[in-house]
Amino acid sequence: MDAANAQDPMVPHRYRVAEVWEELDDVTTMSLLPVDGPPRPFKAGQFNMLYAYGVGEAAISISGDPAVPERLIHTTRNVGRVSAALTRLRAGDMLGVRGPFGSDWPVEDQKGRHMLFVAGGLGLAPLRGAVCQALANRLEYEEVSLLFGARSPDDLLYRSQVAEWGAFSGANVEVTVDMAARGWTGHVGVVTTRLERILGTSDPANVSVFICGPEIMMRFTAQDLTELGVPASRIWVSMERNMKCALGFCGHCQWGPDFVCKDGPVFRYDQIGKRLAIREI
Amino acid sequence: MQAAPGDSFVISSPAPLIGALVGAGWRVIGPQEVDGTIAYEELRTADDLPRGRTDDQEAGHYRLTEGRPEAWFDYVVGPQSWKKWLYPSRRKLWSATKTADGFEIDDRAEDYPKTAFFGVRPCEIAAIERQDAVFDNGSFTDTDYARRRAATLIVAVQCARSAATCFCASMNTGPHAEEGFDLALTELDPDGDHRFLLQIGSAQGAALADGLPLRDATGDDHATARLAAAHAAAQQTRRLPADIAPRLKGKEDHPGWQAVAEKCLHCANCTLACPTCFCSDVEDTNDLTGDHTERWRVWDSCFSLDFSYIHGGAVRQDPAARYRQWLTHKLSSWHDQFGSSGCVGCGRCIAWCPVGIDITEEAAVIARDDG
Ligand SMILES: Cc1cc2nc3c(=O)[nH]c(=O)nc-3n(C[C@H](O)[C@H](O)[C@H](O)COP(=O)(O)OP(=O)(O)OC[C@H]3O[C@@H](n4cnc5c(N)ncnc54)[C@H](O)[C@@H]3O)c2cc1C
Ligand code: SF4
Ligand code: SF4
Ligand code: FES
């Protein structure tokens, strides 16, 4: 490559916020439009580095539908400096975007199978695009299921869309919360307590599962699924590690031999399952 | 004399070569004595070289001392490495200025004149090649690194002496380099018929050699150079076994990690001194008005607690987990990532560890099958 003319991958593209939705107390979703060029295609499960002027960058998953690349959708939880600045952005504000980065959910490859999504809390954001893709081709899958767990009913993301998936789009949806609140009539308990039920009568050997949520939840969910007979090579998880570059340069995201930013964030469980159980690796 | 890659000649001193480089407009960076260590700074003439100096290195120990007065290159590597020029410890990535409806980005690159690295040791050539693979990883290219690298000429100095901390021979990275340089010097017989073997490694090197006062190298010159390399290799007592990478796998719970973590101060000296360590952080700085902001890349180390921070706390809380990351990355997972070891056997991390932790000893402890 001609280095002198190559685009420096650390320099962001400028985007502008088109719309903002308040999802939960500390979570907002925004749609972004490019200022400097055409929108770039992405795959479900990939992420961008979002830059808030003067504050810094954060890795945020793309939570939109890859079939609609014109609208870049991101859902952000305010947990610190950069994410606070990102959740403060309003329509018309400018931000920087680098990406898309990383591996994706291989949703097309699971056709013919029972496609199960297991999401914990904000983990539904990186899965949303893949759910949309599967539901757009619903009949090509034996079944499409979503098992969605959150801490409390107030932490349930994309509530109306999840209801719509269950009611109109042909998805088998189960929602469960760790702690019920007044008025909650749904399930109570962690997602692992609902796995057997959501697999239903499907042959476990014909089930594919994408899991996204806290690391401990992914670990136990994947472990229980394999015990229920789902092949480890049909389970995928999405990992989170500190990221400063998303290019394989800064070293921060290393997880054993993998750079989570470019070898992940989506990993196949049979390839990393042992590592998930190693403390502080 | 018409020089070509692969040729060897004899020159009486490094001085005309440095003169030719400066004359041809190269910025020449080479070893100098700064604050009692060998540092890589700009050279104007050969007189800036630390002639007559040698080093005394051991675990946790480094000192420059009087050497053979005529010898130009009797010291080996110091705390710095060439990475400070190709991959500076602080670099502005880009800056931005606020506008009425957003911001403008200025990503003009800093000037990097054509630069000759003078006195690159074989293990350091290997280290530069390891970083080449990091910063052009098949998916992305660090354009700033690539630009600096393309504008860099390498004049190697083959080693005729090893420090006690050196173990390049077991890593196949030295003490003699066959390739990876534009020109290479071997100092021959400083106490007698003092001269230098000059190997031509590239067309660019050949063009530079053309103007120099050279004579053809004889069989005796080559034999003396081979002896010097053999002598340097024979001096090495430290080593890493060739199969260390697989032997470190699956040893996450080995008690040796806790034992070394109890000695380790987590000062990050080893990662900063290491010529292959590449980790970095990013910092944002703003002026008082907030109208101008800059993003800087700065060296970072896997020994710091914040390095692995994610919401809820660092992944590697336990100091033993951080030492494990450093050692297993260098010696084992680097092979999975880049197809080579992340260690070139330069010994810097051994000499510059304030408590004298020795990577070769620690690796041997973990590789033993009692974990
Ligand atoms: C692949 C990937 C996808 C992600 N997708 C989303 C998403 O869709 N929505 C969302 O809200 N968050 C997501 N995150 C987490 C998000 O990147 C962090 O919450 C964010 O970086 C925190 O930065 P901060 O400055 O607000 O917090 P601080 O606590 O001030 O963070 C300090 C530094 O620690 C690092 N850091 C802290 N938490 C995390 C974390 N969880 N992951 C990685 N680095 C972290 C950052 O480098 C940050 O600069 C994702 C992370 C990864 C790795
Ligand atoms: S790990 Fe130590 S010996 Fe190996 S290259 Fe780095 S500093 Fe040199
Ligand atoms: S040893 Fe640590 S600081 Fe050095 S490259 Fe590896 S992760 Fe980065
Ligand atoms: S985020 Fe920098 S190497 Fe992965």
Say yes or no: B130 contacts chain A, CB-CB below 8 A: no
Q: If you average pLDDT over residues B110-135, what whole number do you get?
A: 97
% residues pLDDT > 90 (chain B)? 96
Domain spans in chain B, listed from the N-terminal domain onward: 8-234, 244-367
pLDDT band at A169 (very low <50, low <70, confident <90, very high): confident
3-state secondary structure (DSSP) of residue B85: helix
Over residues A62-79, the pLDDT tens digits come to: 999 999 998 899 999 999
Phi and psi at A258, nearest 5°, equal -95, 145
pLDDT band at A3 (very low <50, low <70, confident <90, very high): very low
Model ipTM over 0.90: yes
pLDDT score at B1? 60
CB contact under 8 A, B101 and A9: no
Q: What's the N-to-C CA distance of chain A in angstroms?
A: 35
Cα separation, A219 vs A237, in Å, equals 9
Non-local CB neighbours of B371 within 8 Å, separated by 6+ positions: B251, B253, B254, B255, B256
pLDDT score at B2? 82
- Token code pair at residue A110: 């699971």
Which DSSP string do the residues of A183-249 spell out, in sequence order? T--SEES-GGGGHHHHHTTS-GGGEEEEEES-HHHHHHHHHHHHHTT--GGGEEEE-----S-SSS-
**What spacing in Å lies between the alpha carbon of A130 and ligand 2's midpoint?**
44
pLDDT band at B370 (very low <50, low <70, confident <90, very high): low
* Chain A residues contacting B via beta carbons under 8 Å: 1, 3-4, 6-12, 14, 16, 35, 53-57, 79-80, 92-94, 96, 240-242, 244-245, 247-252, 254, 256-257, 259, 262, 278-281
- CATH code matching the domain that covers A3-101, chosen among 2.40.30.10, 2.60.40.1660, 3.40.50.720, 2.60.40.420: 2.40.30.10
Instruction: Count CB atoms within 10 A of the CB of residue B108.
Output: 8
Task: Please tell me the pTM assigned to this model.
Answer: 0.96
% residues pLDDT > 70 (chain A)? 98
Name the one residue in this structure whose structure tokens are 């297991």: A118
Q: How far is CA B44 from CA A91, B15, B18, B71, B116, in A?
A: 57, 10, 8, 19, 12
Q: Which of A7, A77, A245, A253 to mutate to test the interface with B (most CBs of B within 10 A)?
A: A245
Cα-Cα-Cα-Cα dihedral sign, residues B339, B340, B341, B342: negative
pLDDT score at A2? 46
Ligand 2 neighbourhood includes B273 CB (under 6 angstroms):
yes
pLDDT score at B109? 87
Question: Buried (b) or exposed (e) across B163-196, using 16+ Cβ within 10 A?
Answer: bbbbbbbbbebbbbbeebbbbbbbbbbbeeeebb
Q: Which ligand is nearest to the CA of B279?
A: 3
Residue B270 identity (one-letter amino acid): C
Name the one residue in this structure whose structure tokens are 């994410």: A83
Over residues A102-119, the pLDDT tens digits come to: 999 999 999 999 999 999
- Token code pair at residue B6: 């692969």
CATH code 3.40.50.80 for A108-276: yes
pLDDT band at A4 (very low <50, low <70, confident <90, very high): very low
CB contact under 8 A, B307 and A252: yes
Say yes or no: B106 contacts chain A, CB-CB below 8 A: no
Over residues B89-102, the pLDDT tens digits come to: 999 999 999 999 99
User: Comparing A124 with A180, which gets the higher pLDDT?
Assistant: A124
Nearest CA in chain B to A247: B140
Cα-Cα-Cα-Cα dihedral sign, residues B166, B172, B175, B179: negative
- Token code pair at residue A225: 């699924």
Over residues A192-246, the pLDDT tens digits come to: 999 999 999 999 999 999 999 999 999 999 999 999 999 999 999 999 999 999 9
Q: Does residue B177 surpass a pLDDT of 50?
A: yes
Give the range among A3-17, B210-224, B310-324 with minimum mean pLDDT: A3-17
Ligand 3 neighbourhood includes B161 CB (under 6 angstroms):
no
Q: Is the previous residue joined to B190 through a cis bond, with omega within 30 degrees of 0?
A: no
Over residues A26-85, the pLDDT tens digits come to: 999 999 999 988 989 999 999 999 999 999 999 999 999 999 998 899 999 999 999 999
Cα separation, B341 vs B345, in Å, equals 10
**What spacing in Å lies between the alpha carbon of A256 and ligand 1's midpoint?**
20
The three-point CA angle A13-A14-A17 to 5° equals: 130
Helices (H) and strands (E) in chain B, counts: 14, 16
Name the one residue in this structure whose structure tokens are 């051991």: B58
Around A260, how many Cα atoms within 13 Å sit in the side-chain half-sphere?
Answer: 22
Nearest CA in chain B to A54: B293
- Express the helix, strand and coil content of chain A in percent, nearest 5 each: 30, 30, 40
Say yes or no: B100 contacts chain A, CB-CB below 8 A: no
% residues pLDDT > 70 (chain B)? 99
Q: Does residue A1 surpass a pLDDT of 90?
A: no
Q: Is the previous residue joined to B175 through a cis bond, with omega within 30 degrees of 0?
A: yes
pLDDT band at B110 (very low <50, low <70, confident <90, very high): confident
**What spacing in Å lies between the alpha carbon of A50 and ligand 1's midpoint?**
10
Cα separation, B93 vs B96, in Å, equals 10
Q: How far is CA B129 from CA B116, B203, B276, in A?
A: 16, 19, 9
Average per-residue pLDDT for chain B: 96
Domain spans in chain A, listed from the N-terminal domain onward: 3-101, 108-276
Cα separation, A203 vs B258, in Å, equals 46
Going by alpha carbons, the residue nearest to atom 8 of ligand 2 is: B346
Q: If you average pLDDT over residues A131-142, what whole number do you get?
A: 96
Going by alpha carbons, the residue nearest to atom 3 of ligand 4 is: A248
Q: Does residue A181 surpass a pLDDT of 90?
A: no
